[in-house]
């Protein structure tokens, strides 16, 4: 447990002081104080035979919707730092588990493994995708244990580490094509939209229609016309 805690603390210490605005001596005190607090906190929640157990309890969560992590507050108070002096990212989740330390910067990002050699070798710290923020009035919070946790008014509990998405798989995308289409019509500086539909062809079929009867000649009318022609 000591190695994993020290790896996570070194990574977090470099992250909150990546702009080199804080004194190195105070940052060393901050790291030592935070490591001691986390070892005491995780002593009863460390399961080497099942590393996934208790991940939510061992997660250091930084989020605008979350309360300030109590371990960070105690570490700041122990070395004389103000919590607002830490260059914390907007979204961060740090899981310290048996045999592995993982971090996620941003809610929609994939987590990555924090290597002890990279942290101890002085390599560059990953730059968060979002800008920093500082808590103006931090309040104490308590992380929830797995199974027997105290009810907390925090809107969202610390998450368990999600599974990595395989690079070959891609989420299905849905496309919606609205119908009918709307075509703009401009008239005297007024723009309106007229729905257009595809043309439809209608056919009229006359089934069983009776033919028109032939017109019969009127014999009386024929005689009158003949008589008038004779007189003329």
Distance (Å, whole) CA 63 – CA 89: 8
Residue reference for tokens 């935070």: 34
Specify the pLDDT at position 151.
35
Buried b (16+ CB within 10 A) or exposed e, 134-171: ebeebeebebbeeeeeeeeebeeebebbeeeeeeeeee
Q: Prior bond to 180 cis, omega within 30?
A: yes
Distance (Å, whole) CA 79 – CA 25: 10
The token duo for 199 is: 């043309």
- Tell me whether residue 159 is in a domain: no
Taken in order 72, 74, 78, 81, is the CA torsion positive or negative?
A: positive
Q: Would you say 38 and 30 are in contact if contact means Cβ atoms under 8 Å apart?
A: no
Q: To the nearest 10°, report the CA torsion of 40, 42, 48, 52.
A: -170
- Tell me whether residue 35 is in a domain: yes
- Tell me whether residue 78 is in a domain: yes
Specify the pLDDT at position 12.
93
Grouped pLDDT means (10 residues each) for the chain, 232 residues? 94 91 91 95 93 92 86 92 90 93 89 79 51 42 36 48 58 51 55 55 50 63 74 68
Q: How many domains does the chain have?
A: 1
Specify the pLDDT at position 13.
93
- Tell me whether residue 75 is in a domain: yes
- Report CA-CA distances (Å) from 223 to 214, 215, 216, 231, 232: 21, 18, 15, 13, 14
User: Structural domain of residue 10, as residue ranges?
Assistant: 2-133
- Tell me whether residue 161 is in a domain: no
The model's pTM: 0.55
Domain CATH for 53: 3.90.640.90
- Tell me whether residue 77 is in a domain: yes
- Tell me whether residue 25 is in a domain: yes
Specify the pLDDT at position 116.
82
- Count Cβ atoms below 10 Å from residue 108 Cβ, excluding itself: 7
- Tell me whether residue 52 is in a domain: yes
Specify the pLDDT at position 223.
78
Distance (Å, whole) CA 154 – CA 12: 23
SS3 for 87?
coil
Taken in order 42, 145, 16, 123, is the CA torsion positive or negative?
A: positive
Specify the pLDDT at position 72.
93
């Amino acid at each position: 447990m000591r190695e994993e805690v020290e790896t996570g603390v070194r990574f977090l210490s470099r992250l909150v002081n990546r702009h080199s605005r804080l004194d190195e001596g105070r940052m060393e005190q901050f790291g030592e104080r935070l490591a001691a607090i986390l070892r005491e906190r995780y002593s009863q929640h460390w399961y080497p035979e099942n590393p996934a157990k208790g991940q939510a309890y061992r997660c250091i969560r930084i989020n605008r919707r979350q309360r300030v992590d109590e371990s960070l507050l105690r570490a700041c108070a122990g070395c004389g730092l103000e919590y607002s002096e830490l260059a914390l990212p907007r979204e961060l989740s740090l899981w310290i588990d048996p045999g592995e330390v993982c971090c996620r910067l941003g809610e929609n990002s994939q987590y990555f493994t924090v290597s002890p050699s990279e942290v101890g070798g002085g390599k560059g710290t990953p730059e968060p995708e979002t800008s920093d923020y500082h808590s103006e009035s931090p309040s104490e919070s308590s992380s929830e244990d797995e199974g027997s946790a105290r009810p907390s008014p925090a809107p969202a509990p610390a998450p368990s580490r999600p599974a990595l998405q395989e690079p070959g798989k891609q989420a299905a995308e849905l496309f919606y094509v609205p119908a009918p289409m709307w075509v703009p019509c401009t008239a005297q500086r007024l723009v309106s939209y007229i729905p257009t539909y595809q043309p439809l062809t209608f056919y009229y079929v006359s089934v069983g229609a009776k033919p028109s009867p032939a017109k019969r000649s009127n014999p009386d009318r024929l005689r009158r016309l003949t008589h008038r022609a004779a007189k003329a």
